[in-house]
């Protein structure tokens, strides 16, 4: 409520009913509205992927710690959404109290200032009312749901509830289509937010009226309004102009430009040059696109119109920048991926489209790569790039040591990655750097026959499960032992820990990074990075 009303209410002694109308509840409603405007302004920015990529590019010469927050854009997006929910609840509850108080003041017949203000009507200006409930017979529910503010508020709240509930982890993972379509109700939310204030429920005294009947001069003689021509005339109130559209205009412009750019890129031709079906329902697609460039660790968004014209899903690139094509590996993990694999099994070619972001693996002296299941895909790109860079003697890498951990449930999942690791083993041996790449494979799902067979053939030069020199370990890594060993081997290095895997594993690795980082900044420091979509 504008300060004119607050001044009026607090200059009148013994005005408990006025304080109920113009007190803290209305102040909470206005304060929460401002917080909603601010959060609604910033919530669209984290989902503008091209804008974030541009910002990362402008910071390419900055310290990696300055660019790292941009990688947590979705986490920030979720936090802002939670704040919108909290302030929406405060705003609604506060206004419910306010409408109830308006109703009480309209029904009051005691001649108090609250009663007089509620029945106030300017004879020459039809819109000069203060209380939105202008009749004792009008209920609070009717007044709330027949006003512009009430209707838009209800619609925006319903849209917000549907968006938040459908974005829960379980629904997003198992019913992505439901999440995707429901989340686009944000368009309804934004429209309702922009016109929410058009009804002018919150009103203020005009400047002209202030000069004729100032609250400080007239608060004690409101029963004698219009008795004196020069002072204490009946005040004139007008609705406050809407403000929300000013907050959301710029983010909407950014987002519209983002969507136009995505649409333009989606219409560019992508040619699928090779399709490979790997064991355990893993599909490899090799593609080409005119003018397409990539960096290691990037991911693309793929669309298959024959499955869903509107759905886009992120997949990490497994090719290296030096290759003539770009590739992704897709594991069957839901309806959309299963339909895609089935489509290619039936040799039904469909067009896929791309968008991108960047990772920072080469920025560290020592890199620790941890992949779980199909989460190995971003590191396939990195390891391929390493292989190409070592073939070029003039390329000097900042990265001096790589520790690679791959945790998988099924032995068949190792098959499609074996050739790359085998090529890297041979390349490093020929270059005299056999210790540059230290990799370990962990099998978490096995039976007694597999374990017994591996034990009987442990003395062989190559692993019986993968054919590699490095023997497969059974079970999960003991991360404390691994981090302690790395910290001892590199006492003064900056170690980048990269994960593409589940949140529980991320939590363990993050704790280890903090635990084994030295308090002395000149000694070993671990920095945790997680591949998120």
Which range among 81-95, 230-244, 347-361, 503-517 shows the weakest confidence by mean pLDDT?
347-361
Which range among 98-102, 139-143, 322-326 shows the weakest confidence by mean pLDDT?
139-143
Which range among 101-105, 391-395, 475-479 shows the weakest confidence by mean pLDDT?
391-395
Distance (Å, whole) CA 397 – CA 376 = 22
Q: Where are the domains of the chain?
A: 3-258, 269-345, 361-530
Which range among 4-8, 82-86, 270-274 shows the weakest confidence by mean pLDDT?
4-8
Structure tokens at 19: 């304080």
Distance (Å, whole) CA 512 – CA 510 = 5
Print the SS3 string covering 45-105.
HHHCHHHHHHHHHHCCCCCHHHHHHHHHHHHHHHHHHHHHHHHHHHHHHHHHHHHHHHHHH
Which residues have C-beta within 8 Å of that of residue 161, sequence separation ≥ 6? none
What are the residues facing 528 on neighbouring strands?
Answer: 497
- Buried-exposed string 166-203: b where 16+ CB fall within 10 A, e elsewhere: beeeeeeeeebeebbebeebbebbbebbbbbbbbbbbb
pLDDT score, position 187: 93
Distance (Å, whole) CA 8 – CA 17 = 13
pLDDT for 388-415, tens place per residue?
776 665 456 778 888 989 888 776 666 6
pLDDT score, position 12: 34
Distance (Å, whole) CA 151 – CA 29 = 17
pLDDT tops 60 at residue 358: no
Structure tokens at 259: 């969507």
Helix (H), strand (E) at residue 480: helix 479-489
Strongest mean pLDDT among 78-87, 219-228, 345-354: 78-87
**Mean pLDDT confidence for 72-80:** 90
The answer regarding whether domain 269-345 maps to CATH 2.60.120.330 reads no
Distance (Å, whole) CA 6 – CA 22 = 7
Which range among 24-33, 194-203, 448-457 shows the weakest confidence by mean pLDDT?
448-457
What are the residues facing 522 on neighbouring strands?
Answer: none
pLDDT score, position 486: 93
Provide the pairing of β-strand 299-302 with 473-474.
Answer: unpaired
Which residues have C-beta within 8 Å of that of residue 290, sequence separation ≥ 6? 268, 269
pLDDT tops 50 at residue 2: no
Residue 18's pLDDT band (boundaries 50, 70, 90)? very low
The pTM for the full model equals: 0.60
* Phi and psi torsions of 156, nearest 5°: -65, -40
pLDDT score, position 193: 92
CATH code: domain 361-530 is: 3.40.50.80
Write the CA distances from 243 to 39, 43, 135, 253, integer angstroms: 14, 17, 28, 17
Sheet holding 326-331, edge to edge: 270-278, 282-289, 326-331
* E-strand stretches of 340-484: 366-372, 401-408, 437-443, 473-474
Strongest mean pLDDT among 424-438, 449-463, 468-482: 468-482
pLDDT score, position 429: 76
- Buried-exposed string 100-133: b where 16+ CB fall within 10 A, e elsewhere: bbbbbbbebeeebbbbbbbbbeeeeeeebbbbbb
Task: Provide, rounded to the nearest whole percent, the portion of the chain with pLDDT above 90.
Answer: 17
Residue 329's pLDDT band (boundaries 50, 70, 90)? confident
Structure tokens at 479: 């991360």
Instruction: Please determine whether the domains at 269-345 and 361-530 fall in the same fold group of CATH.
Output: no
Structure tokens at 315: 């997949």
């Amino acid at each position: 409520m504008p300060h004119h009303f607050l001044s009026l209410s607090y200059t009148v002694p013994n005005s408990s009913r006025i304080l109920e109308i113009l007190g803290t509840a209305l102040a909470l409603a206005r304060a929460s509205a401002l917080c909603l405007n601010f959060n609604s302004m910033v919530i669209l920015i984290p989902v503008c992927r091209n804008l974030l990529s541009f910002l990362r590019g402008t910071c390419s010469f900055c310290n990696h710690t300055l660019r790292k927050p941009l990688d947590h854009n979705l986490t920030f997006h979720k936090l802002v959404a939670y704040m919108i929910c909290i302030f929406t609840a405060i705003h609604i509850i506060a206004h419910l109290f306010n409408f109830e108080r308006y109703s009480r003041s309209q029904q009051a017949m005691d001649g108090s200032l609250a009663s007089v203000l509620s029945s106030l009507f300017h004879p020459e200006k039809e819109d000069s009312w203060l209380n939105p409930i202008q009749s004792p017979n009008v209920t609070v529910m009717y007044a709330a749901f027949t006003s512009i503010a009430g209707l838009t508020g209800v619609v925006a709240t319903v849209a917000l509830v549907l968006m938040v509930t459908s974005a829960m982890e379980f629904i997003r993972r198992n019913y992505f289509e439901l999440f995707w379509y429901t989340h686009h109700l944000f368009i309804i939310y934004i429209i309702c937010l922009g016109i929410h204030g058009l009804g002018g429920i919150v009103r203020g005294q005009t400047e002209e009226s202030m000069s004729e009947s100032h609250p400080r001069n007239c608060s004690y003689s409101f029963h004698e309004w219009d008795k004196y021509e020069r002072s204490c005339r009946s005040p004139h109130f007008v609705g406050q102009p809407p403000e929300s559209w000013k907050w959301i205009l710029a983010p909407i412009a950014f987002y519209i430009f983002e969507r136009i750019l995505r649409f333009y890129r989606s219409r560019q031709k992508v040619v699928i040059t090779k399709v490979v079906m790997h064991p355990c329902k893993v599909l490899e697609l090799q593609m080409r696109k005119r003018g397409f460039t990539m960096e290691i660790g990037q991911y693309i968004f793929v669309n298959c119109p024959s499955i869903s014209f509107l759905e886009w899903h992120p997949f990490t690139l497994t090719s290296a920048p030096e290759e003539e094509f770009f590739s992704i590996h897709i594991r069957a993990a839901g309806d959309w991926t299963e339909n895609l694999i089935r489509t290619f099994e039936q040799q039904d070619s469909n067009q896929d489209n791309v968008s991108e972001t960047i990772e920072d693996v080469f920025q560290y002296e020592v890199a620790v790569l941890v992949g779980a299941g199909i989460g190995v895909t971003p590191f396939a790109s990195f390891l391929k790039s390493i292989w190409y860079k070592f073939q070029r003697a003039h390329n000097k890498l900042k990265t001096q040591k790589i520790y690679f951990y791959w945790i998988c449930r099924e032995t068949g999942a190792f098959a499609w990655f074996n050739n790359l690791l085998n090529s890297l083993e041979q390349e490093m041996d020929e270059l005299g750097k056999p210790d540059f790449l230290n990799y370990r494979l962990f099998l978490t799902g096995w039976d007694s026959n597999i374990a017994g067979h591996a034990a009987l053939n442990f003395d062989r030069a190559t692993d019986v499960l993968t054919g590699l020199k490095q023997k497969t370990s059974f079970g999960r890594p003991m991360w404390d032992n691994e981090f302690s060993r790395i910290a001892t081997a590199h006492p003064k290095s900056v170690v980048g820990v990269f994960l593409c895997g589940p949140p529980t594993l991320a939590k363990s690795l993050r704790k280890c990074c903090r635990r084994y980082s030295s308090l002395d900044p000149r000694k070993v420091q671990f920095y945790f990075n997680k591949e998120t979509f």
